[in-house]
Amino acid sequence: MATCAANNVKLYARFRSEREDWVLAMVMARIGFAFMPECSVTLPELLQRPLIEPEVSRKISMLSVLGRPYSPATAAMLRAAKSFHWPG
């Protein structure tokens, strides 16, 4: 929002939802637009454009207690996270 204000861009969120599928449906209905992570766009017919400037990034961390054995589910999640090709 600070970047928008610095560039004299005024945005107003008329509709809000924590459900990504609802947001995508509103965008498909041409009610508005959304800033979403690339992997959240699951509809191939939805027009996408990368946000080049300003650059948007985030840091995701996974922490555990040293020496504590992992449950099978946690071990599987860690293997999946390590093997996934993270963009960026």
Task: Give the DSSP letter of residue 50.
Answer: -
- Judge if pTM exceeds 0.95: no
Q: Could you state, in order of their start, the residue ranges of all structural domains in the chain?
A: 1-52
Spatial separation of the C-alpha atoms in residues 86 and 1, rounded to whole Å: 26
pLDDT digits (tens, 9 = 90+) for 22-34: 888 888 888 888 8
Q: Name the H helices within the chain.
A: 2-6, 20-28, 72-83
Q: Quick check: 43 and 24 in contact, CB under 8 A? A: yes
Q: In which band, very low, low, confident or very high, does the pLDDT at 88 lie, cut at 50, 70 and 90?
A: low
**pLDDT score at 73:** 95
Listed residue (40, 82, 38) closest to 60, CA to CA: 82
